């Protein structure tokens, strides 16, 4: 099974592993236009490693992704500053919960460091 580890620079964009960040003009999810999300689609099961910014900024970006459904279409497990954030316990993100168990089962195959921060 293939699992993308999506790196989030949190200056505004979800960037797929291996994505050519210089290939397109990057607007990012903080911009005014929703079409910016098309540049940062994540297909399949993903783990999003979130670093930087505050809980409030993280929550806002995730809620916008949830409304537009352009990113994280197949479920994610979100890590925020080495701890799983509580957003997945909120009703708006309940659809992502089934994927968390699957990701935990295969986490050792993804990166040996990930279990240490889950």
Instruction: Please check the confidence at residue 1 and state whether its pLDDT lies above 50.
Output: no
Q: For residue 73, is it within any domain? A: yes
Q: What is the pTM of this model?
A: 0.22
Q: Domain of residue 49: give its range.
A: 4-110
Helical residues (DSSP H) of 1-118, grouped into ranges: 55-68, 97-110, 114-117
> Which tokens sit at 95?
């659809």
Q: What is the pLDDT of residues 63-105, one digit of tens each?
A: 554 443 333 333 344 444 333 444 444 455 555 555 555 555 6
CA distance 26 to 79: 23
How many domains does one find in the chain?
1
Q: For residue 67, is it within any domain? A: yes
């Amino acid at each position: 099974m293939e699992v993308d580890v999506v790196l989030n620079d949190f200056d505004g964009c979800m960037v797929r592993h291996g994505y050519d960040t210089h290939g397109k003009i990057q607007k990012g999810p903080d911009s005014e236009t929703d079409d910016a999300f098309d540049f940062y689609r994540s297909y399949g099961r993903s783990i999003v490693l979130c670093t930087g910014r505050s809980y409030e900024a993280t929550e806002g970006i995730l809620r916008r992704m949830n409304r537009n459904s352009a990113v994280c279409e197949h479920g994610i497990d979100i890590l925020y500053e080495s701890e799983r954030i509580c957003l997945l316990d909120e009703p708006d993100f309940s659809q992502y919960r089934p994927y968390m168990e699957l990701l935990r089962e295969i986490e050792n195959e993804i990166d040996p460091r990930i279990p240490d921060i889950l």
